[in-house]
Amino acid sequence: MYQINEFNEKSALDNALADKVAGLLSQAIEAKGKASIAVSGGSTPKGFFKALSQKDLPWKKVTITLADERWVNLDDDASNTKLVHEHLLQNNASEAKFFHLKQGEVLTDETLTDLNLAAKSSLLPLDVLILGMGEDGHTASLFPCSDEIHTGLAQDNPDALLKVQPKTAPHQRISFTFSSLLKSEAVFLHIAGAGKKQVLNKALAGQQILEMPVRAFLQHPQVNTQVFWAE
């Protein structure tokens, strides 16, 4: 299910989310000696990344990864990895580990198998998951109407990751599956702007998950998705 947290300003949202996430990471480290977090790409997280990077945490015990990644060069502006390195793996957080989803020039079946094994053994389940949402209701790289959507949303899918070739967006991608993200200890949906609020309202008003995959997180009874939104 979900809970909506609204803020008057984007900066207030970013700071509040950073405080919340830092507390959860600290609790995980205290309990297990380590913590893991997956974040989303795009322009929305930049302020949150900066606020989180300045938190006083034992960052060497934190592993950061992405909910999904475009299979582009790491110096490409479309690279989520580049975004994380420039805005999150800075300041205090520069000591954190980073779990790369983009490895090599071509996303082969062998690469995907190796990444699946590595994610399962060293990363999952995630302590914190920060999702974004597209105008079409996709989240991570789980796109409506894509050939991979049934596999990506299947709750009994044993794989942590899958290849995605979206029909409505550029670049081949790699994405965590819903079945792997479902096990995250804390799930947040981080969105901003009136346009995204309209998309969120549409997602909350309907039931068809294949039409808007973000509904899988908003509707699932075992997932408490914390929606953080600001104008």
Going residue by residue through the chain, which has 231 residues, state the pLDDT in tens, using 9 for 90 and above.
899 999 999 999 999 999 999 999 999 999 999 999 999 999 999 999 999 999 999 999 999 999 999 999 999 999 999 999 999 999 999 999 999 999 999 999 999 999 999 999 999 999 999 999 999 999 999 999 899 999 999 999 999 999 999 999 999 999 999 999 999 999 999 999 999 999 999 999 999 999 999 999 999 999 999 999 998
- β-pairing verdict for 173-176 and 68-70: antiparallel
Which residues, at least 6 apart from 31, have a Cβ–Cβ distance to it below 8 Å?
none
How far is Cα 225 from Cα 219, in angstroms, rounded to an integer?
9
40 burial class (0-12, 13-18, 19+ CB within 10 angstroms)? buried
| Of 221, 179, 183, 214, residue with least CA distance to 200 | 214
Listed residue (55, 53, 46, 56) closest to 11, CA to CA:
46
